[in-house]
């Protein structure tokens, strides 16, 4: 039996698309359903700080990757992509605030609890393992978004944002695991 060589890891490009989130996007942007829209909105509220947590968790081990330049390059791509995701979801969340959603109290609680209180008390290897688990979850959600009609009736610009994010989640889904 002939064995195939292991696939070569592809580089992870950092893209900077622009999304028209300042326009007229309705509050019920997903199939006209407030429930469906707010379910995805709730995920978006978590994304910017969550993406920055992923970056910190992986970046902590960057110096240990000197022996593996290919993985180090993929980590740089991962960091770039996650940074862009955080930036664009910050913009999406500002759109939600302009629509009248009171988000400041949530963001204050989320930041104080997750990043100021809990994160410093968790050792780096558990933060990385948490990142691996959450990257698996986001890649699973990405496959759902891309392989089902769930976003077919979304506002076109929001659908573009979510499809871009989903594609990149699939593209870098193994990086945190490979670092672990």
Cα distances from 43 to residues 6, 85, 120, 121, 180, in angstroms, run 35, 12, 23, 24, 25
The mean per-residue pLDDT over the stretch 50-66 comes to 96
Query: Cα(152)–Cα(120) distance, rounded to whole angstroms?
Result: 41
Q: What is the CA angle 27-114-107, rounded to 5?
A: 30
Cβ partners under 8 Å of residue 45, min gap 6: 93, 96, 103, 106, 107, 110
Q: How far is CA 13 from the centre of its chain?
A: 15
Does pLDDT of 2 surpass 90? no
User: 106 versus 5: which is more confidently predicted?
Assistant: 106
Q: Output the CA torsion sign for 111, 83, 170, 12.
A: negative
The mean per-residue pLDDT over the stretch 97-120 comes to 97
Query: Cα(47)–Cα(44) distance, rounded to whole angstroms?
Result: 5
Look up the pTM and report it: 0.93
- Asked if 159 and 151 count as a contact pair (C-beta separation under 8 A), the reply is yes
Residue 9 has a pLDDT of 73
Of residues 81, 178, 172, 80, the one with CA closest to residue 135: 172
Q: Output the CA torsion sign for 55, 143, 46, 81.
A: positive
Of residues 133, 140, 134, 132, the one with CA closest to residue 177: 132
Does pLDDT of 168 surpass 50? yes
The backbone region for 37, taken as left when phi is positive above 0, alpha when psi lies in -120 to 50, beta otherwise, is: alpha
């Amino acid at each position: 039996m002939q064995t195939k060589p292991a696939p070569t890891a592809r580089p992870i490009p950092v893209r900077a698309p622009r999304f028209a989130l300042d326009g007229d996007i309705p509050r019920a942007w997903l199939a006209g359903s407030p429930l469906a829209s707010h379910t995805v909105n709730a995920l978006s509220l978590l994304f910017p700080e969550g993406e920055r947590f992923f970056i910190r968790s992986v970046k902590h081990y960057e110096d240990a990757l000197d022996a593996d330049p290919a993985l180090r390059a993929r980590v740089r791509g991962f960091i770039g992509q996650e940074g862009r995701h955080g930036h664009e979801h910050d913009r999406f969340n500002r759109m939600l605030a302009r629509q009248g959603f009171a988000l400041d109290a949530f963001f204050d609680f989320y930041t104080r609890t997750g990043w100021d209180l809990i994160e410093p008390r968790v050792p780096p290897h558990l933060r990385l393992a948490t990142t691996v688990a959450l990257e698996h979850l986001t890649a699973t959600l990405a496959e759902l978004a891309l392989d089902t009609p769930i976003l077919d009736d979304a506002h076109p610009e929001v659908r573009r944002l979510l499809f871009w994010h989903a594609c990149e989640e699939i593209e870098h889904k193994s990086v945190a695991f490979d670092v672990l």
